[in-house]
């Protein structure tokens, strides 16, 4: 509870004594490059293979001829939109971006760079952390959309190239009983997950004390805590919104 | 001038500083000296507001900084330059951007003016051709110089240096010390240097405060330090044969 209270105070400190809009604008653009653009390759790779593997495994489990083949595409669509793209990719995002945020801020803390900002009269938490959170919340939903497309594309390529189903069956499956609300739900999840990952990771990094060992510990804790928060939020959001 | 009054600080019931009071004069290099773990850096952090003292206050030209509200604190902080032990340069920025950083954040100067000012400060610390180098490409001494350039770029009234010689060879240490002394006189700044380097103490200590296990035991100048009559200070200063022989000479 003490840690949670500290986390809440940390979040409040981000919005008091802010710098100018121009300062944040530049920082957010920089962070978007770091967080978003530089993560695209990883997201493409992981999501394409996730879609491909899901296709093969769903086909393997559909042993009865009574179930039409297009159901495989339907399963891929639902799994991708509801869980694989927003949630599994969030765990990967926490591993890549969360640990980098915590490590970066932790290093800044132990090398007195954060103290240097404070001495200059800058609200260091707001200056360093707020742009990361905003950039994460801007970029992660886009990455989720991107990952969803790649996952479905991966499923399509493997499904059609290995004769699991025809392109027509795949297209039919994608469109069958489609509920567009699932996309809204996925995007809501992605906003929440992005906020949790960025804020928790920055919190862990910002309050690092000690040396290189503690920076490593902060990075590990950032990923662990973010993943736990993602899974809890996933459950509550599903209960609340579905 | 900076004045501190009854500053005390504890961590987890362990008392680090006890009722430290004193004055640091404008246009002079004021040194806080003492062996490791005596609370020098903690005192410096209490003065600049990185730590809040349990009791006591720091006054910047009669303005109570410790008890000030956020706006006044922010205003005073804009008059402060600080050199950290490791330089504390921002890894993601090159030398020029590091030096320009306080101007970017604290002023509305046009870019050309900021560049001029950064170049002037870099030239002043003897680093004319290092503008585009990243922090990781610099030696320890260069990092300290860039740190000093960044600290003075905003024309501060108060300059703080936390162990400016740590990790430097004796020659570079003297260069850094002389630079701090020159800048203090040139810009008429109130400079406070935390150090345990005896060369600095004897070379630039125009006013010295000696801390011992969290207490202030002595105050004076580098001319008085050899005949302070304080045993703990003598033990700190005359630790080796060379210094002992110096003491003999100064006393005779």
Among partner residues B70, B86, B102, which is closest to A120 by beta-carbon distance? B102
Q: Up-side HSE of residue A157: CA atoms within 13 Å toward CB?
A: 13
For range A88-101, the mean pLDDT: 96
Cross-chain residue pair A115–B105, CB shorter than 8 Å: no
SS3 B167: coil
* Cβ–Cβ contact A224 with B under 8 A: no
Tens-digit pLDDT string for chain B (252 aa):
999 999 999 998 899 999 999 999 999 999 999 988 899 999 999 999 999 999 999 999 989 999 998 888 888 988 999 999 888 999 989 999 999 999 988 888 999 999 999 999 999 888 888 899 999 999 888 998 999 999 999 889 999 999 988 888 888 888 889 889 998 998 899 999 999 888 888 888 899 999 999 999 999 988 888 788 888 888 888 776 666 676 666 544
Burial class of residue A181 in the structure, from the number of CB atoms within 10 Å of its CB (0-12 exposed, 13-18 middle, 19+ buried): exposed
pLDDT at residue B252, as a whole number: 41
pLDDT at residue B175, as a whole number: 85
For residue B16, the 8-state DSSP code is E
Contacting residues of B for A120, CB less than 8 Å apart: 77-78, 80, 101-102, 105-106
Q: What is the pLDDT of residues A55-90, one digit of tens each?
A: 999 999 887 888 898 999 999 999 999 999 999 999
* Cβ–Cβ contact B97 with A under 8 A: no
Q: What is the pLDDT of residues A8-58, one digit of tens each?
A: 999 998 988 777 888 899 999 999 999 999 999 999 999 999 999 999 999
* Cβ–Cβ contact B13 with A under 8 A: no
Contacting residues of B for A118, CB less than 8 Å apart: 49-50
pLDDT at residue B251, as a whole number: 46
pLDDT at residue A2, as a whole number: 84
Mean of per-residue pLDDT scores for chain A: 93
Quote the CA–CA distance of A89 and A186 in Å, as a whole number.
12
Contacting residues of B for A23, CB less than 8 Å apart: 104-105
Q: Which value, to the nearest 10 degrees, does the dihedral of the CA atoms of residues B151, B154, B160, B162 take?
A: -20
- Angle between helical axes of A181-206 and A2-13 (0-180°, round to 10): 100
pLDDT at residue A3, as a whole number: 86
Cross-chain residue pair B50–A107, CB shorter than 8 Å: no
Quote the CA–CA distance of A112 and A208 in Å, as a whole number.
11
Quote the CA–CA distance of B180 and B28 in Å, as a whole number.
10
Q: How many CB pairs under 8 A join A and B?
A: 50
Q: Where are the domains of chain A?
A: 20-241
> CB B75: neighbour CB atoms within 10 A?
13
Best of B42, B68, B105 to substitute, by most chain A Cβ atoms within 10 angstroms, is: B105
- Share above pLDDT 70 across residues of chain A, in percent, rounded to a whole number: 100
From residue B37, alpha-carbon distances to A235, B41, B215, B240, B242 in Å are 50, 9, 12, 20, 25
Quote the CA–CA distance of A16 and A236 in Å, as a whole number.
30
Domain B2-79+157-251 has CATH 3.40.50.300: yes
Closest residue, chain A, to B159 (C-alpha) = A119
Cross-chain residue pair B50–A116, CB shorter than 8 Å: no
Closest residue, chain A, to B76 (C-alpha) = A121
Q: Where are the domains of chain B?
A: 2-79+157-251, 92-155
* Cβ–Cβ contact B155 with A under 8 A: no
pLDDT at residue B246, as a whole number: 65
Cross-chain residue pair B73–A121, CB shorter than 8 Å: yes
Among partner residues A23, A111, A121, which is closest to B88 by beta-carbon distance? A111
Contacting residues of A for B50, CB less than 8 Å apart: 115, 118-119
Cross-chain residue pair B78–A17, CB shorter than 8 Å: no
pTM recorded for the entire structure: 0.87
From residue A225, alpha-carbon distances to A95, B222, B250 in Å are 11, 54, 63
Best of B82, B106, B138, B150 to substitute, by most chain A Cβ atoms within 10 angstroms, is: B82
Contacting residues of A for B74, CB less than 8 Å apart: 17, 121
Among partner residues B88, B91, B105, which is closest to A23 by beta-carbon distance? B105
**Is the pLDDT at A163 greater than 60, yes or no?**
yes
Closest residue, chain B, to A115 (C-alpha) = B50
* Cβ–Cβ contact B82 with A under 8 A: yes
**Is the pLDDT at A123 greater than 80, yes or no?**
yes
Burial class of residue A109 in the structure, from the number of CB atoms within 10 Å of its CB (0-12 exposed, 13-18 middle, 19+ buried): buried
* Cβ–Cβ contact A115 with B under 8 A: yes
Quote the CA–CA distance of B101 and B152 in Å, as a whole number.
12
Nearest-Cα distance to chain A for B55, in Å, is: 21
């Amino acid at each position: 509870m003490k840690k949670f209270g500290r986390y809440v105070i940390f979040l409040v400190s981000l919005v008091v004594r802010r710098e100018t809009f121009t300062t944040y604008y530049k920082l957010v653009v920089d962070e978007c490059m770091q967080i978003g653009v530089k993560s695209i390759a990883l997201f493409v790779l992981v999501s394409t293979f996730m879609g491909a593997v899901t296709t093969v495994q769903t086909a393997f489990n559909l042993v009865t001829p009574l179930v039409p083949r297009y159901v495989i595409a339907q399963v891929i669509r639902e799994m991708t939109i509801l869980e694989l793209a927003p949630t599994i990719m969030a765990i990967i995002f926490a591993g890549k971006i969360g640990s980098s945020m915590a490590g970066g801020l932790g290093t800044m803390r132990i090398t007195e760079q954060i103290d240097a900002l404070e001495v200059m009269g800058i609200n260091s938490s707001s200056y360093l952390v707020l742009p990361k959170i905003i950039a994460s919340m801007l970029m992660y939903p886009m990455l989720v959309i991107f990952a969803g497309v790649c996952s479905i594309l991966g499923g399509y390529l493997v499904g059609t190239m290995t004769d699991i189903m025809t392109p027509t069956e795949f297209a039919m499956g994608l469109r069958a009983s489609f509920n567009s609300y699932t996309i809204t739900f996925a995007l809501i999840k992605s906003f929440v997950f992005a906020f949790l990952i960025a804020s928790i990771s920055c919190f862990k990094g910002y309050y690092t004390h000690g040396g290189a060992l503690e920076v490593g510990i902060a990075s590990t804790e950032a990923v662990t805590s973010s993943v736990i928060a993602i899974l809890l939020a996933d459950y509550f959001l599903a209960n609340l919104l579905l | 001038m900076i004045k501190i009054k009854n500053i005390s600080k504890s961590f987890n019931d362990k008392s680090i500083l006890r009722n430290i009071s004193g004055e640091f004069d404008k246009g002079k290099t004021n040194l806080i000296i003492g062996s490791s773990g005596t609370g020098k850096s903690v005192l410096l952090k209490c003065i600049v507001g990185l730590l809040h003292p349990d009791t006591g206050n720091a006054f910047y030209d009669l303005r109570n900084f410790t008890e000030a509200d956020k706006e006044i604190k922010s205003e005073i902080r804009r008059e402060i330059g600080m050199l950290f032990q490791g330089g504390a340069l921002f890894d993601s920025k090159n030398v020029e951007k590091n030096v320009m950083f306080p101007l970017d954040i604290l002023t509305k100067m046009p870019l050309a003016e900021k560049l001029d000012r950064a170049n002037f400060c870099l030239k002043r610390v003897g680093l004319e051709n290092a503008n585009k180098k990243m922090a990781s490409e610099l030696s320890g001494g260069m990092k300290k110089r860039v740190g000093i350039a960044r600290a003075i770029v905003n024309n501060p009234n108060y300059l703080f240096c936390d162990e400016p010689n740590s990790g430097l060879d004796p020659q570079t240490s003297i260069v850094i010390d002389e630079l701090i002394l020159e800048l203090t006189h040139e810009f008429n700044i109130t400079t406070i240097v935390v150090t345990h380097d005896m060369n600095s103490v004897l070379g630039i200590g125009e006013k010295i405060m000696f801390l011992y296990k969290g207490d202030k035991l002595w105050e004076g100048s580098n001319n008085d330090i050899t005949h302070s009559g304080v045993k703990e200070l003598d033990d700190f200063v005359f630790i080796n044969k060379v210094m002992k022989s110096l003491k003999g000479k100064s006393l005779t």
